[in-house]
Structure 1
Amino acid sequence: MTTTKKPFGLTARIIIGMTLGIAIGLLLQLLMGKSGDFTLNLGLFEFSFKAFFVDGIFEIGGQIFIASLKMLVVPLVFVSLICGTCSLQDTTKLGRIGGKAISLYMVTTAIAISFAMFMAFIFAPGEGVNMTTSTTFEAKEAPSLAQVFIQMFPTNPFAAFAQGNMLQVIIFALLFGIAIALSGEAGSRVAKMFEDLNVVIMRLVTILMNLAPYGVFCLLAKLFATMDFSVFLNIFAYFMVVFVVLIIHGTVTYSVLLKVLTGLNPLTFLKKMRDAMLFAFSTSSSNATIPVTMETATKKIGANNAISSFTVPLGATINMDGTAIMQGVATVFIAQVFNVDLSITDFLMVILTATLASIGTAGVPGVGLIMLAMVLEQVGLPVEGIALIIGVDRLLDMTRTAVNVTGDCMVTTVVAKSEGQLDESVFENENAGRKIEEIDFHHLKQ
């Protein structure tokens, strides 16, 4: 009797893809050297390693993978949130869930940036750094808090879908779901259609998850083939402070909150987060990781879809703990580089600004630098200092995105537990959700 069972689970395959990607990327960087390319003269033409591998295969494979994940975000959030809203018998419950989620997200962000600034002040990564006057950074204008709240409500929902504006999609989905719930028989028929759509979309998520090791390989191979390690070495102290704070916040802070608020085992939770964290690390995008995060929250952790369909996309939009940590350390770092003394008022202003700025921050790579510019301006620090940290921000962006999605699932678990919407038998089952990850592409009828 033959079996089609794969020798490795999804997590193992993703780790293999990551490891091979990093190794091949570093090998290519060694081959290309300072010139940034390695060519072979084959007579009629020259073969360029950079053009063929870095800008060709790896770029195409990585971007197709990212595009495929982003393709699912809007339909997944829209359909799942409608299903979740329709299942709520009491609309006041929706406000209670939202209040709990937003409060937890804001609290964890404030804890993150406060701890980050404390660590940066203790270890002083910016002392002794020689600032050059040629360093520049042109910051985009950050939206005001009033604009953020106004722009939460769509004037054209189809434009919100096309632009991937998650807050607007969430608002429209909530209103649409409430309207369905209040529409009697007609609403029931429409709700059934959305429930079927949700099953199909989640299966599509599973298909993409099985292709993830190849996408992860391409993304990391290109990143490590083109990374400027000389810049990385110059600000190693800054990098290490941010990295250590991210790890502590993602493991210790979330674990303590989970244990105190739910009594659940934090180690079980972190084990179940492995796939989502690996996806987030590879893509550097909370939004692109939403499909995997929702799959983890519902199928592996046991949160009801009525909760996760709201808290996960909301978290991808407003929960930026990792970004807040980067902003806290970077603010202290840049102040030390420019020999600017920050007062207690300045520290409090940074904490408040960064916490509020996380609302409406897009869950896409690199957006933290834009928000950092706003934070620096609030306390009178030169925005040009951001150019010092751009070189290592890509690596840190990967790590802080993994922290962000872990926070999304932690808050989802806490809210689900408080509402009696958490299946603890699923949470305690180590193999929960593993079966759905396996797809036999040779036999589509399953």
Structure 2
Amino acid sequence: MAEAAAIDDAGRDEARARRLRWRMLIGFLAGLVIGLAVHYGAPGAAWVDTVTTYVTGPLGQIFLRLLFMLVIPLLVSALIVGVAEMGEMRALKSVGLRTLVYTIAVSTISVVISLAVVNLLQPGAGVDPALARSLMAEGAAGAQAIAERAGESKSGMDAVVAIVPDNIFAAMGANDVLAVMFFALFFGIGLMLVNTPRTETLKTAIEGVFEVVMKLIGLVIQLAPIAVFCFMFNLAAQFGWDLIIRLSAFVGVVLLALALQMFIVFPILLKMLAGKSPVLFFRQTQEAFVMAFATASSNATLPTALRVAHDQLRLPDKVARFVLTIGATANQNGTAMFEGVTVIFLAQFFGIDLTLQQQIVVMLVCILGGIGTAGVPAGSLPVIALILASVGVPPEGIGLILGVDRFLDMCRTTLNVIGDLVAATVVSAGVKEGSATGAAPPT
């Protein structure tokens, strides 16, 4: 009887998830089509700015803020419980080591691909100088703000030390995700090592926080179709295809590099390391695709990725929670690729010939940047400014690509999120099924 009820609940959850995916897809297409119609049908109309400023813009931001409000408690509770559920240090070491090796290896592959493509196709060599001057003038203020943020960012040993928070509440308030993750990992290890009735009660309470946060996120996600419509309407109504066409060489190279990683590297990894059908995998992760593309934020998509990992991919909860929460900040292949392509593109544009040694330095910094970049919209731009300054390329060159960054941010975030799900699938393949089950997160 109980089994039949569970099957009915699972069927209803699946039907609800399927309806949500369709509504998100409809919102995506409707926003794109209506936005393009407005851009080309009423160019320069004052009411378009009014709608994007006072209606669609705020609605999209409220949706993102609701998700960001819940992401820190979700990340902390999921990571603490994920580590504590490992049961012993040996299991944590195994999963952690697999995740670390996978992340470094795949990030290296992604950056090598991006540097190879941008060096082969040379998109920066063919930009029209007059167009470049106008684009840089338009983006001058934004580029200066990004360069200032990059100057304020910690680098070198300071960045390493900053991973260990001196005040966890201050780190949460500053949205310092790496520091919060370090605390959650450390606390989870402590919870795993101390096995008493009181710590079991504490673990149960933290699991309760996770379940409550997932339930609240489930309610927020119901607004996703409206938010997706707003995001796509704003993008299409304000920019259309004009800017993307004008920087088509740069955009094309970025998309080609991302596509090689998504549709060649990931399927090979899935098939060889996890024995998973790539076609089935991509079909099961459709919801994460749409959410990542619309929000351009790995952190905002984390709740959806966790639900997809449990409901669609049927991955072990303890592994999925660990890998996906770590991966939202530390396994950003798309971000690393974008940083590599952008740095070489701007070096080509300014006529600066980077040596092999300099490009290796760029590659290493991009790999580290992909690990430490904030999983929020445009989080990689300050990192790019730092890399540009380190290799002698003017950081204000970022102004050249600011207009198309939102679209490319959506694309690279999609790769980041799908890459996290691929990582979770690969790491889960090495975990014995008997020890893999955990409590299902509520939907």
Post-superposition offset of 1:327? 1.8
1:217 paired residue number: 229
- Cα distance in 2 for partners of 1:418, 1:361 equals 28
Q: More deviation in 416-425 or 396-405?
A: 416-425
1:121 paired residue number: 119
1:91 paired residue number: 89
1:30 paired residue number: 40
1:174 paired residue number: 185
Residues 361/402 of structure 1: CA separation in 2 closer, same or farther (3 Å cut) = same
Paired residues, number: 415
- Cα distance in 2 for partners of 1:60, 1:342 equals 43
Contact 1:302 1:422 in 2 (8 A): no
Post-superposition offset of 1:180? 2.9
Q: TM-score, normalised by structure 1?
A: 0.86
2:98 paired residue number: 100
2:273 paired residue number: 261
Structure 2 counterpart of 1:59, one-letter code: G
Q: Calculate percent identity across the aligned residue pairs.
A: 32
Contact 1:302 1:424 in 2 (8 A): no
- Cα distance in 1 for partners of 2:320, 2:180 equals 15
- Cα distance in 2 for partners of 1:109, 1:403 equals 12
- Cα distance in 1 for partners of 2:220, 2:393 equals 43
- Cα distance in 2 for partners of 1:336, 1:167 equals 33
**Is the partner of 1:121 in helix, strand or coil?**
helix
Provide, for residues 55-81 of structure 1, a one-character-per-residue CA deviation record: whole Å limited to 9, x for no partner. Answer: 122012111111111122111111122
Structure 1 counterpart of 2:90, one-letter code: T
2:286 to 274, 277, 280: 274
Q: More deviation in 217-226 or 298-307?
A: 298-307
1:160 paired residue number: 171
- Cα distance in 1 for partners of 2:58, 2:278 equals 38
Post-superposition offset of 1:27? 2.3
Q: Summarize the alignment of residues 286-435 of structure 1 with structure 2, pairs less than 5 Å apart.
A: 286-420=298-432
Residues 219/319 of structure 1: CA separation in 2 closer, same or farther (3 Å cut) = same
Residues 84/396 of structure 1: CA separation in 2 closer, same or farther (3 Å cut) = same
Q: More deviation in 416-425 or 93-102?
A: 416-425
- Cα distance in 1 for partners of 2:127, 2:435 equals 52
Post-superposition offset of 1:119? 1.2
Contact 1:303 1:422 in 2 (8 A): no
Provide, for residues 270-305 of structure 1, a one-character-per-residue CA deviation record: whole Å limited to 9, x for no partner. Answer: 111111111110001111111111111222212222
Contact 1:302 1:423 in 2 (8 A): no
Contact 2:317 2:437 in 1 (8 A): no
2:30 paired residue number: 20
2:78 paired residue number: 80
Post-superposition offset of 1:143? 2.5
Contact 1:272 1:296 in 2 (8 A): yes
Is 1:144 the counterpart of 2:155? The answer is yes
1:50 paired residue number: 49
- Cα distance in 2 for partners of 1:145, 1:306 equals 33
1:194 paired residue number: 206
Contact 2:36 2:240 in 1 (8 A): no
**Is the partner of 2:223 in helix, strand or coil?**
helix
Structure 2 counterpart of 1:377, one-letter code: A
Unaligned residue ranges in structure 1 (runs of 5+): 39-47, 427-432, 438-446
Structure 2 counterpart of 1:315, one-letter code: G
2:19 paired residue number: 9
- Cα distance in 2 for partners of 1:173, 1:74 equals 10
Post-superposition offset of 1:115? 0.7
Provide, for residues 307-327 of structure 1, a one-character-per-residue CA deviation record: whole Å limited to 9, x for no partner. Answer: 122211211112221112112
Unaligned residue ranges in structure 2 (runs of 5+): 1-11
- Cα distance in 2 for partners of 1:225, 1:286 equals 24
- Cα distance in 2 for partners of 1:295, 1:422 equals 21
Post-superposition offset of 1:101? 1.1
Contact 1:37 1:50 in 2 (8 A): yes
Contact 1:130 1:337 in 2 (8 A): no
Q: Which has the higher helix share?
A: 2
Structure 2 counterpart of 1:265, one-letter code: S
- The alignment's C-alpha RMSD in Å is 2.5
After the TM superposition, list the runs of 4 or more consecutive aligned residues in structure 1 that deviate by more than 4 angstroms: 4-8, 421-426
Contact 1:242 1:326 in 2 (8 A): yes
- Cα distance in 2 for partners of 1:378, 1:205 equals 41
Structure 1 counterpart of 2:96, one-letter code: G
Post-superposition offset of 1:167? 1.7
Structure 2 counterpart of 1:328, one-letter code: G
Contact 2:24 2:228 in 1 (8 A): yes
Provide, for residues 15-38 of structure 1, a one-character-per-residue CA deviation record: whole Å limited to 9, x for no partner. Answer: 1000111112222223441xx334
- Cα distance in 2 for partners of 1:422, 1:385 equals 54
